[in-house]
Amino acid sequence: MEVSVVNISGKETGAKVQLPESIFGVEPNDHAIYLDVKQYLANQRQGTHKSKQRNEIAGSTRKLHKQKGTGGARAGSIKSPLFNGGGRIFGPQPRDYSFKLNKKLKQLARKSALSYKAKDNNILVIEDVNFDSVKTKNYIKMVADLNMSTEKTLLVLPAANQNVYLSSRNIKKAKVVTADQLSTYDVLNAGKLLLTMGSVKTLEEALSK
C-alpha cells in the first residue's frame, strides 16, 4: 500500500512510502483485538479496592442480648454483617487484575488494528517531527495545518522526543507515543493515526519478526 508523505504544514512533499501489506493489510482478527484491549485495560487497574470484614471492624464483641426469649434472632456481636456498621460479606479485596497473553497474539492484534485504520483511510504519513523548544502552540499549529483540529490524533514517533511529547501533553485530543510503545488500545482509541517515515520503518522491523 503506497501512501503520499506530507510535511507538518500539510503540504505534499512528493515522496511516497510503502506500508507493508503484512502489517497494514492483514485480515483483522477481532477476538485478538478484544483480548489485547481487555489486557491493556486490566493492567491499568490499581486493584487497591478494599472493604472491612467483621474481624477488621472496630467494636465490642459483647453478646448483644441473651440467646433465647427475646423473640428475635440470636446475635453474637455488633460487628455482624447484618447490622449497620458491621463488616461486609464477600467485599472487595486487593488483587492483581493483570493476565498474560502470548506475544504472537498481541502482535496479531496490533496488525489487525493497524489494518482497520488503513482500510478506513485514517492513516497519514508525515515527515519526521522535531520542535526546537517545548511549546504547545507548535503542536496545535501542526494539527491545524493537517486539518485534524477536531480529530483525536495519535502521533507515533520512531524514538522518544521530549520536545514533541511535552508540547502535546496538555492537548486533550492528542497523544504521542513511540513505535515500541504502540498498543492496540491506543490505535483503536485514536480517530487519526499519524505515522512518521521513521516510525513506519520501526513498526515494520518490530512486527515482521
Whether the predicted pLDDT of 1 surpasses 80: no
Q: Which DSSP symbol is given to 184?
A: H
Question: What is the pLDDT, as a whole number, of residue 39?
Answer: 97
Question: What is the pLDDT, as a whole number, of residue 88?
Answer: 93
Residue range 129-176, pLDDT digits in tens: 888 899 999 999 999 999 998 899 999 999 999 999 999 999 999 999
- Using CA atoms, how far apart are residues 135 and 10, in angstroms rounded to an integer? 19
Give the largest Cα separation in the chain, rounded: 94
Give the phi and the psi of residue 17 in degrees, each rounded to 5. Answer: -130, 145
Instruction: Assign 3-class secondary structure to 135-157.
Output: CHHHHHHHHHHCCCCCCCEEEEE
Whether the predicted pLDDT of 25 surpasses 80: yes
C-alpha cell at position 99: 493476565
- Using CA atoms, how far apart are residues 74 and 71, in angstroms rounded to an integer? 9
- Segment (H or E) for 200: helix 197-207
Residues 94-113 as b or e (16 or more Cβ within 10 Å = b) = eeeeeeeeeeeebbbbbbbb
**What is the pLDDT averaged over residues 124-129?**
90
Q: How confident is the model at residue 7 (pLDDT cuts 50, 70, 90)?
A: confident
Question: What is the pLDDT, as a whole number, of residue 91?
Answer: 93
Please say whether the beta carbons of 143 and 129 come within 8 A: no
Cell numbers 506500508: residue: 19
- Using CA atoms, how far apart are residues 87 and 69, in angstroms rounded to an integer? 26
14: left (phi over 0), alpha (psi -120 to 50) or beta: left
Residue range 69-101, pLDDT digits in tens: 999 999 999 999 999 999 999 999 999 999 999
Whether the predicted pLDDT of 111 surpasses 90: yes
Residue range 31-63, pLDDT digits in tens: 999 999 999 999 999 999 999 999 999 988 899
More confident residue, 157 or 10: 157
- Using CA atoms, how far apart are residues 80 and 86, in angstroms rounded to an integer? 5
Question: What is the pLDDT, as a whole number, of residue 192?
Answer: 93
Please say whether the beta carbons of 20 and 208 come within 8 A: yes
Whether the predicted pLDDT of 8 surpasses 90: no
pTM of the predicted structure, to 2 decimals: 0.83
Whether the predicted pLDDT of 209 surpasses 80: no
